[in-house]
Amino acid sequence: MSKEPVVIKKKKEKTFKDIVMEKLPDGGNLNACLTCGTCAAGCPATGLHGMDPRKIVRLAALGMDEELKKTPWAWLCSMCTRCVYACPMNVNIPQLVFNMRAAWPREERPRGILRSCDVALGTDTCSAMGFPVQDFIDVVEEMLEGVRTQPGFEDLQAPIDKQGAYFLVNQNSREPGTEPEEMIPLWKILHMVGADWTYSSKGWAAENYCLFLADDDGWKEITRRAAEAAEELGVQSFVNTE
């Protein structure tokens, strides 16, 4: 009979990195980091709060979960994905950051982004500025009158809720809200190329602050409304101007 001692091993608890890797294809390659610093070299948030993308991956690799999930650097990252394209190992740092944000209690996330998400969810237009349907229609019609006085654009169109158009185009609500003249160059380009396009009166806002808040249900709801608008109008293609 063997007299070897019986060793009861304690089950290893999952780290934050383990949990994130389970959600991502190929684990986001989070185990493949070479600490080469290529990501940090091109990151616009490098140095803020003493952090950079490489340090974030190191914190995750070392199981320093509390430091990782509480650092405000998560909200300074723009999730532009520049680091992923630069990385020789294709490490998906933005997805790690997204899950870092999601780990924060919702009420403790940055108030500006939180409020913008909630405002967008509360209006049919999905505008983070709370821009209502009729105001959007009024602004488009007013700007359209002005641009049609310019030579070559007398018959320019900026249709809303046009059934069967080829393209559905959205718009950042800052533009109709505070800079309506910024919409006109896009209209002119679409007019010059003869595009068959339309806005939707609902779900037209291009920004999605719920995505940046890491509010899964919120950003999916905003996206769902835009998709439903496209289906109702019977368009062929959706153009996200953001």
Indicate whether 12 pLDDT > 70: no
CB 78 within 8 A of CB 93: no
pLDDT tens-digit map of 18-58: 999 999 999 999 999 999 999 999 899 999 999 999 999 99
Which structure tokens are listed for 143? 């700007």
The mean pLDDT value for 144-158 works out to 96
pLDDT tens-digit map of 180-237: 999 999 999 999 999 999 999 999 999 999 999 999 999 999 999 999 999 999 999 9
pLDDT tens-digit map of 129-142: 999 999 999 999 99
Q: How far apart are CA 58 and CA 31, in angstroms?
A: 10
CA distances from 155 to 146, 147, 160, 193 (A): 12, 10, 15, 14
So what's the pLDDT on residue 13?
Answer: 80
CB 167 within 8 A of CB 237: yes
The mean pLDDT value for 72-93 works out to 94
**Average pLDDT value over all residues in the chain:** 93
Indicate whether 112 pLDDT > 80: yes
Q: Structure pTM?
A: 0.84
Confidence class for position 9, pLDDT limits 50, 70, 90: low
The mean pLDDT value for 166-187 works out to 95
